[in-house]
Amino acid sequence: MPQATSDPPWLSLPTEISDVLRPVVSEVVEAIIEGIPRDVPVYAMPMEGRFGQGVRQGVTIALHRFLDLPGTRLPALSEDGKWVYENLGRGEVRSGRSLESLLSAYRYGARVTLRAISRTVDVSQLAPDVILALGESLFAYIDELSAASAQGYALEQSERAGEHQRRRGELLEMILRGETEVGVTRAATALGWVLPEALVVATLPSSRLDGVRGALGPEALVAERGTEAAVLMPFGNRAARTKELNRALRGRHAIIGPERPWQQAAESLHLAVSAGAHGLGGPTAEGDRPVWVEDHLAELVVHAEPLATADLARRRLAPLEGLRPAVRARLAETLLAWLRHQGQRAPIAAELFVHQQTVGYRVGQLKELFGGELDDPQARFELELVLRAGYR
């Protein structure tokens, strides 16, 4: 009668194979243990301690289970057996080895087992279809062991990746909460993440987070925060990072806060969130490119955002850096009057209680310092905003 296609190949094996081979299982186990280091170089180490015990246990369980199969429809592995071989796969990840090394050891064990059967069973007395079923049975059995170990290997990798990502998310939260420098440094060091001198924080909907981690690589910290996600990106190489963020976050309704030292990352996040709250991001942004808060500081100032005002002041009044305080204050006062009176010397002089020639001299200094910015309507508007806000 032909064998049903769903029947396992060991159903047609005579049980005498098990009866003859079981008494020599310990010898076969030792032969496999002795040969694995030669056949699989990555295991060229003493088979002792926890590693040796694990290998010996795995080989012994595998042989005894295989000898339970001839003449039955039993599955290749029991639930306990699956657990053993899944754990062997997990152990390969923990030891830093590839799965192929373990699978090679399984194949070697199958060859040794087949030779042992040939020595102890008179195969000449077996029908050809039984000999064929014997080979099929060993191959099918090794495939089941390999599949269980591959599943364990994959699960361990996935869990490790998930745990690693969780810890990276915790580090991001520690930085945004402004926790102590010692604590943040210790957590970053444990993850192998170098704290940058400068960074930016971006926000985007969590629903648009897929692929961001891969696009930005391991230097970026990414975490979901409810319906929104935060991305923390080192910003040392400004030009390269700007291009990278524009490419990775395009089409994701992202808003990128201004550059900050890592200790002030919360400010970058705050301004990104504030920009979103005031309608500066989202699907209406041109081409849905990421919105850079630093390009919209004046709009945030209009919305009474003090951190944006301070940023805008640092940016626009940078030409006055390095001047003596008295000179800086005098020129800032003159600049505000010049902006307020649209460059008319007489009202400027009257407001400052100085001669018009003094106004001309100071305005000349300002034009030297600020260059073409004083001819730019947007720059003049932003300068007046920060000067009226009291920045000098």
DSSP string, 88-129: HHHHHHHTT--HHHHHHHHHHHHHHHHHHHHHHS-GGGS-HH
How much is the pLDDT for 123? Answer: 64
User: Where do we find the tokens 């040392």?
Assistant: 236
Rounded (10°) CA dihedral 338, 341, 346, 348: -40
Q: Are 241 and 234 in contact (CB under 8 A)?
A: yes
> What's the sign of the alpha-carbon dihedral 52, 53, 56, 61?
negative
Please count the residues of the chain.
Answer: 392
pLDDT (0 to 100) of residue 34: 83
The DSSP call for residue 261 is E
CATH architecture of 9-159: Orthogonal Bundle (1.10)
Looking at residue 2, what is its pLDDT? Answer: 47
What is the distance between the alpha carbons of residues 78 and 229, in angstroms, rounded to a whole number? 44
List the structure tokens of 43.
């295991």
Average pLDDT across each block of 10 residues of the chain; the chain has 392 residues. List them in order. 68 85 84 84 73 80 91 91 89 88 88 80 73 86 93 91 90 94 94 95 93 92 92 92 94 94 96 88 64 89 82 93 93 93 92 93 94 91 88 86
From 3.90.320, 3.60.21, 3.40.50, 3.30.70, which CATH number describes the 196-314 domain?
A: 3.30.70
User: Quick check: 383 and 339 in contact, CB under 8 A?
Assistant: yes
pLDDT on residue 59: 86
* Structural domain boundaries in the chain: 9-159, 196-314, 318-388
